[in-house]
Amino acid sequence: MAYLSLKDINKIYPNGFHAVHNFNLEIEQGEFIVFVGPSGCGKSTTLRMIAGLENISKGEFYIDGKYANEMRPRERGVAMVFQSYALYPHLSVYDNLAFGLSLQGIDEDVIEERVLATAKILGLSDYLDRKPRALSGGQRQRVAVGRAIIRKVGIFLMDEPLSNLDAKQRVTMRSEITDIHRKVGSTTIYVTHDQTEAMTMADRIVVMKDGYIQQVGNPYELYFKPVNLFVAGFIGEPPMNFVRATVNDGCVEIAGEKHDLSLVVGERINEYNGKDIMFGFRPEAISLAEVENSFKLSADVELTELLGDNTNVYVDMMGDKVILKVDPHDTPKMDTRISYCVPHKNVYLFDAETETVINKYE
């Protein structure tokens, strides 16, 4: 059995709201798992059930093979880092780090050793005498992480730990947290609504929506093999483009031109004759130059955003709005008409009714 095992976990709050449905997941020791999804999808609720802060309404939870539904939080060997750092303002960094250990009655010598070692891992050695108010947001967050790792527990649970930081600090802390994870090796479950954090930090990502798991996979699988429209649209920035179209004789009409979808999914497309599909492609998966085995599309340029490493081009295709990511040196002029190619291999087709992917999931 995996280190953490969640079997058909459900959460129904006392007011009757069913926040988490049949959540199944096996987590290996040392894995870095990210729960990601929009606000209200049930990620914090799931994390809090793992921590023992919420009871599990239905299902079974095991830690290292032991039935853990009824285990008290402190018996579970978990440390939690919250969005609010929850530091003691009147205590120095040293004492903030030492606090939990002092409560456990651990020897001062051992505490000192662990505080110094933890501060070293986190780059806080020069700040041990400071009070939290004299630290930057990133440093405070590091102290909060330090208070978790100093306890040497097997499981770290982090709920949006970077959301109080500015964009630059978030990028730095992202790599610091993955680095700490590499050094400490604890099993980590990290909750965020930010797909970039999920993509950059996770061994495996769990995408949730409306209390249901949508897909579990490593960042590559989620990006290149999304199982449905939601995952395809949620992972990736700018998001995947979707154009709705009706299949006729295996073809769809997009911006007034016909395209043969059997080139993407073979004869199977005929099962969709008369039905609506979503034609999807990522902004970067296009070419302004002509390429073989591609669909050629035309569009009117409405806006361009030069970002430095690339330009986002916002185009209109007879009512369908699409974003194209192009080399900044190829930035087209606004209010012009352009053509671009989407290679067949870069096209994702989704059933418009069930929203499941038709191709690309093997």
DSSP 71: -
Taking contact as CB under 6 A, which single stretch among the options 13-21, 104-112, 289-297, 309-317 is the one that binds ligand ATP?
13-21
C-alpha dist (Å) from residue 330 to 238, 298, 300, 304: 18, 16, 15, 11
Binding region for ligand ATP (CB under 6 A) out of 11-19, 176-184, 226-234, 302-310: 11-19
Instruction: Work out whether 44 is an interface residue with ligand ATP (CB under 6 A).
Output: yes
39 interacts with ligand ATP by CB under 6 A: yes
Q: Which of residues 181-200 bind ligand ATP (CB under 6 A)?
A: 193
Position 45 contacts ligand ATP (CB under 6 A): yes
Q: Is 40 in the site for ligand ATP (CB under 6 A)?
A: yes
| Residues 165, 173 contacting (CB under 8 angstroms) | yes
Instruction: Give whichever of 59 and 280 is closer to ligand ATP, judged by the CB atom.
Output: 59
Q: If you ran DSSP here, which 8-state letter would residue 187 be given?
A: E
The rounded distance, in Å, linking the Cα atoms of 227 and 222 is: 8
Q: Which is nearer to ligand ATP, 54 or 276 (CB)?
A: 54
What is the dihedral sign for C-alpha 113, 117, 122, 126? positive
> Nearest CA to 20 among 37, 4, 33, 3?
37
Q: Are 6 and 213 in contact (CB under 8 A)?
A: no
Q: Tokens for 102, please give them.
A: 């002092």
209 binds ligand ATP (CB under 6 A): no
Out of 1, 15, 126, 267, the only residue in the binding site for ligand ATP (CB under 6 A) is 15
- Segment lying near ligand ATP (by CB under 6 A), choices 40-48, 171-179, 251-259, 268-276: 40-48
Q: H or E element: which one contains 44?
A: helix 43-51
> Taking the C-alpha atoms of 85, 86, 87 and 88 in order, what is their torsion angle to the nearest 10 degrees?
160
Minimum distance, C-beta of residue 8 to ligand ATP, in the bound complex (Å): 18
Per rule CB under 6 A, count of chain residues that contact ligand ATP: 13
Residues that bind ligand ATP (CB under 6 A): 13, 15, 17, 19, 37, 39-45, 193
